[in-house]
Chain A
């Protein structure tokens, strides 16, 4: 089952004629994902890897029913593209574009909430249900994807795009498969953070454990601990918190825009402490994720 998408999910790519989108569209098709159409205003009538390109989302969904859209357009156009997808009834948006102004993200999310749509990203590499569907660029080319991911009982959500594949690869190397792997995006405000995704994994009968890749900054991990403490979540969670050294350097931004310790807030140490109090398993080293999972599964 996995979450959010399945093998029959039909997907459009907004900005399909862009350099990156041309590459990941091929990777998605090679992996067996149903990419039914692309949209680039002004380039209707063209084709990318035999996928027809339309000028508007409206034309694309009239021709092909669609459940999801990958948005890969320049940052200034993300808001327009996302609102266009939402107004045409698409209920799953994966925004891979980076450097989207926060105000635009928040506006898109306000509309998505009202429409009952799910947004992943922005600044996400996308999501993968191993051997069934890949939405976005996570995992790269198909030969790499097949080595790194395999189907199984563990859900992964990661604040880092690259570490989504790294964690999946670590599990696959040790014979542990994954249900759904999601790069949530590195921005301070993203459409679906751990608080949104953990309950979805919890309800999924195929997901027996959840692995979270966390970084310093923000309050999501702390709030998740509260959520787990109030016994809303039954599926065991294993968390790895990277960037412990960042605690000693408040005010410095590392990698993702959200990875910043402000004063004493958002530290790795603080998050680890809260996790432990809530009964979330904390992996000291990356490899410990495997040994902890082996006791849980």
Chain B
């Protein structure tokens, strides 16, 4: 879960990492902060500066005008519901401080650069000598002496070294105690009056650790919260509701596409495989989805009905890997019930049913009763996808 800038800064402030004076606003009005100020859109994506999500105001009137304008704008696809108004500081130098997990070394890694405000991975590729990195233990954190060792490699000395090391160590503590997966201060500014302040901050909290981070868990429950790289459609929201009908297995994680072939596919890896295969054989999926963990007949049925409710969808393909724990008969029952309830003919609507594995004999019996052409385990995911596309074309 990605926290917004102002939420991340609240967490930094709790650990005494200095942030600019600022106030948040959800509606236009007076700006009590003395100018000059920055007006910053609070959206869950980076790259907002280039997209006009950060603007400067030199007097109060301009600040109020720009605040109102920002609150009625859309930045990188997101309606701006919240704005952070911050003091504009006089900056001498900017740095990059970041902590994340190195998935190869399987350890947290502390990353430092004297080039603040950059895309750190890009910089690390092009000018690796400008980026200092060091692993540390989750059990001991990043003590200040280690932080000094990293930062001093960049030739930084004196009070700047001490100040930066202190903040770096605190950032690592913040990362660990909040179950973050990314904690970045980019940039951290050294001001002309000798202070060090976190100008922008990006925290991502591990979704699997929300149970022990009540503050973040509460934010996640907010129904108005927007997350991730794209905005969910109503069709997708309905699929999520279906998946939440009961706790048995997964039948959802639907993503809408503009094709005409409805897909009921799973589990995760097989969904990716089947979707690619449909496209490679010239098919146009109406959706992506994931089925797994032996979902209830009810969920499979409702998902089938939802996908068939799309006007463009005339036929659906059901493709899963050889299932380990999901029961083939329950899958067959759910899909057939859904088709019947919507008043269609299963043998015409299903262009392929390829789910081999546990309870397959029972499942195949149900399918043959309705004249559905099913595939057993000798037909691969790829062949099943080809069959589905061919049938869609021949009708």
Q: Of A100, A159, A287, which contacts B269 at CB under 8 A?
A: A159
Q: Of A140, A148, A243, which contacts B377 at CB under 8 A?
A: A148
Decide yes or no: A163 and B321 within 8 Å by CB, A110-B138, A255-B290 being known contacts. Answer: yes
In the complex, which residue of chain B has the Cβ closest to the Cβ of A140?
A: B324
In the complex, which residue of chain B has the Cβ closest to the Cβ of A163?
A: B269
Cross-chain contact A106 with B269 (CB below 8 angstroms): no
Cross-chain contact A101 with B270 (CB below 8 angstroms): no
Alpha-carbon distance between A173 and B381 when the two chains are bound, in angstroms: 13
Decide yes or no: A218 and B103 within 8 Å by CB, A144-B358, A255-B290 being known contacts. Answer: yes
Q: Which residues of B contact A265 (CB under 8 A)?
A: 121
Cross-chain contact B357 with A107 (CB below 8 angstroms): no
Cross-chain contact B275 with A166 (CB below 8 angstroms): no
> Does B292 reach chain A (CB closer than 8 Å)?
yes
> Does A281 reach chain B (CB closer than 8 Å)?
no
Decide yes or no: A141 and B104 within 8 Å by CB, A102-B209, A163-B269, A186-B268 being known contacts. Answer: no
> Does B394 reach chain A (CB closer than 8 Å)?
no
Q: Which residues of B contact A240 (CB under 8 A)?
A: 273
A65 → B minimal CB distance (Å): 29
> Does A6 reach chain B (CB closer than 8 Å)?
no
Cross-chain contact B380 with A287 (CB below 8 angstroms): yes
Cross-chain contact A215 with B176 (CB below 8 angstroms): no
Q: Which residues of B contact A165 (CB under 8 A)?
A: 321-322, 324, 357
In the complex, which residue of chain B has the Cβ closest to the Cβ of A256?
A: B268
Stretch in A8-16, A84-92, A202-210, A245-253 with 4+ CB within 8 Å of B: A245-253
Alpha-carbon distance between A163 and B206 when the two chains are bound, in angstroms: 26
Cross-chain contact B176 with A103 (CB below 8 angstroms): yes
Cross-chain contact A259 with B101 (CB below 8 angstroms): no
> Does A125 reach chain B (CB closer than 8 Å)?
yes
Q: Of A99, A107, A162, which contacts B267 at CB under 8 A?
A: A162
Cross-chain contact A160 with B269 (CB below 8 angstroms): yes
In the complex, which residue of chain A has the Cβ closest to the Cβ of B361?
A: A143
Alpha-carbon distance between A219 and B378 when the two chains are bound, in angstroms: 33
Cross-chain contact A102 with B229 (CB below 8 angstroms): no
Stretch in B16-24, B276-284, B295-303, B304-312 with 4+ CB within 8 Å of A: B276-284
Q: Which residues of A contact B107 (CB under 8 A)?
A: 106, 110
Interface mask (A217-255 → B, CB under 8 Å = 1, otherwise 0)? 011100100000000000000001011111001111111
Decide yes or no: A286 and B382 within 8 Å by CB, A163-B321, A166-B270, A255-B269 being known contacts. Answer: yes
Q: Which residues of A contact B324 (CB under 8 A)?
A: 125, 137-140, 144, 161-162, 165
Alpha-carbon distance between A240 and B280 when the two chains are bound, in angstroms: 14
Alpha-carbon distance between A123 and B324 when the two chains are bound, in angstroms: 15
> Does B230 reach chain A (CB closer than 8 Å)?
yes
A117 → B minimal CB distance (Å): 13
Cross-chain contact A106 with B108 (CB below 8 angstroms): yes
> Does A213 reach chain B (CB closer than 8 Å)?
yes
Interface mask (B246-286 → A, CB under 8 Å = 1, otherwise 0)? 00000001010000000000111111110111011000000
Cross-chain contact B378 with A188 (CB below 8 angstroms): no
Interface mask (A94-112 → B, CB under 8 Å = 1, otherwise 0)? 0000011111011101100
B178 → A minimal CB distance (Å): 10
Alpha-carbon distance between A250 and B76 when the two chains are bound, in angstroms: 14
In the complex, which residue of chain B has the Cβ closest to the Cβ of A98?
A: B208
> Does A147 reach chain B (CB closer than 8 Å)?
yes
Alpha-carbon distance between A119 and B351 when the two chains are bound, in angstroms: 42
Cross-chain contact A286 with B271 (CB below 8 angstroms): no
A252 → B minimal CB distance (Å): 6
Interface mask (B81-122 → A, CB under 8 Å = 1, otherwise 0)? 000000000000000000001011011100000000000010
B290 → A minimal CB distance (Å): 6
Interface mask (A152-180 → B, CB under 8 Å = 1, otherwise 0)? 00000011111101100110010000000
Cross-chain contact B267 with A189 (CB below 8 angstroms): no
Alpha-carbon distance between A195 and B228 when the two chains are bound, in angstroms: 30
Interface mask (B64-94 → A, CB under 8 Å = 1, otherwise 0)? 0000000000000000000000000000000
Cross-chain contact A286 with B179 (CB below 8 angstroms): no
Decide yes or no: A254 and B381 within 8 Å by CB, A107-B138, A144-B358, A188-B103 being known contacts. Answer: no
Cross-chain contact A75 with B272 (CB below 8 angstroms): no
Cross-chain contact B206 with A255 (CB below 8 angstroms): no
In the complex, which residue of chain A has the Cβ closest to the Cβ of B276?
A: A244
Cross-chain contact A285 with B277 (CB below 8 angstroms): yes
Alpha-carbon distance between A291 and B357 when the two chains are bound, in angstroms: 24
Cross-chain contact A285 with B280 (CB below 8 angstroms): yes
Cross-chain contact B380 with A170 (CB below 8 angstroms): yes
Alpha-carbon distance between A204 and B209 when the two chains are bound, in angstroms: 38
Cross-chain contact A245 with B275 (CB below 8 angstroms): yes
> Does A292 reach chain B (CB closer than 8 Å)?
no
A287 → B minimal CB distance (Å): 5
> Does A76 reach chain B (CB closer than 8 Å)?
yes
Alpha-carbon distance between A284 and B277 when the two chains are bound, in angstroms: 10
Alpha-carbon distance between A277 and B42 when the two chains are bound, in angstroms: 42
Q: Interface centre among B104, B253, B267, B325, by most A CB within 10 Å?
A: B325
Q: Of B176, B292, B382, which contacts A287 at CB under 8 A?
A: B382
> Does B211 reach chain A (CB closer than 8 Å)?
yes
A158 → B minimal CB distance (Å): 7
In the complex, which residue of chain B has the Cβ closest to the Cβ of A143?
A: B358
In the complex, which residue of chain A has the Cβ closest to the Cβ of B377?
A: A169
Q: Of A138, A139, A242, which contacts B272 at CB under 8 A?
A: A242
Cross-chain contact A162 with B292 (CB below 8 angstroms): yes
* 16 chain-A/chain-B pairs, Cβ below 8 angstroms: A107-B138, A125-B324, A139-B324, A140-B357, A144-B357, A148-B322, A162-B322, A162-B323, A163-B267, A193-B104, A215-B272, A223-B104, A244-B279, A253-B228, A254-B288, A255-B269
9 smallest CB-CB distances across A and B, nearest first, come from A251-B229, A160-B269, A255-B268, A243-B272, A140-B324, A101-B209, A166-B321, A163-B269, A242-B272
